[in-house]
Amino acid sequence: MRKITKKPEVLAPAGTLEKLKTAIRYGADAVYIGGNQYGLRTRAGNFTYDEMREGVAFAKSHNAKVYVAANMVTHEGDADGAGEFFQTLRDIGISAVIVSDPALIEICATEAPGLPIHLSTQASATNYETLNFWQAEGLERVVLAREVGMEEIKKIQQKTDVEIEAFIHGAMCISYSGRCTLSNHMSNRDANRGGCSQSCRWKYGLFEMPLPDERKSVLAGEPVEDFSMSAVDMSMIRHIPDLVENGVDSLKIEGRMKSIHYVSTVSNVYRQAIDAYCNDPDNYEFQQEWEDELWKVAQRELSVGFYYGTPTENEQLFGARRKIPAYSFIGQVLDYDEETQIATIQQRNHFSVGDEIEFYGPGFTHLNQTIESLWDEEGNPIDRAPNALMTVKMKVDAPVKPFDMMRKIK
Dihedral of CA 87/88/91/94: which sign?
Answer: negative
Contact 62, 76 (CB under 8 A): no
Helix 17-25 to helix 260-279 angle, to the nearest 10 degrees?
A: 30
| Homologous superfamily of 327-409 | Translation factors (2.40.30.10)
Residues 6 or more apart from 59 whose CB is under 8 A from it?
20, 24, 30, 31, 65, 66
Intervals of CATH 3.20.20.70 along the chain: 9-172+231-310
pLDDT at 192: 63
Environment class of residue 344 by beta-carbon count within 10 Å: exposed (0-12), middle (13-18) or buried (19+)? middle
Nearest to 104 by CA among 54, 35, 47: 35
DSSP for 41-63? -TTS-PPPHHHHHHHHHHHHHTT
Please give the model's pTM, rounded to 2 decimal places: 0.91
Distance CA 297, CA 295 (A): 5
Which amino acid makes up residue 410? K
Q: Domain 9-172+231-310: which topology?
A: TIM Barrel (3.20.20)
pLDDT in tens, 68-95: 999 888 889 888 999 999 999 999 999 9
Residues 6 or more apart from 297 whose CB is under 8 A from it?
258, 261, 262, 265, 266, 327
Residues paired with residue 208 on neighbouring β-strands, in sequence order:
216
pLDDT at 178: 67
DSSP assigned state of 205: -
Q: Are strands 216-217 and 327-337 parallel, antiparallel or unpaired?
A: unpaired
Intervals of CATH 2.40.30.10 along the chain: 327-409
Which residues in the chain show pLDDT less than 70?
Answer: 40-45, 177-178, 191-195, 220-227, 319-323
Residues paired with residue 163 on neighbouring β-strands, in sequence order:
141
pLDDT at 339: 95
pLDDT at 120: 95
Give buried/exposed letters for 74-97 (b at 16+ CB in 10 A, else e).
beeebbeebeebbbebbebebbbb
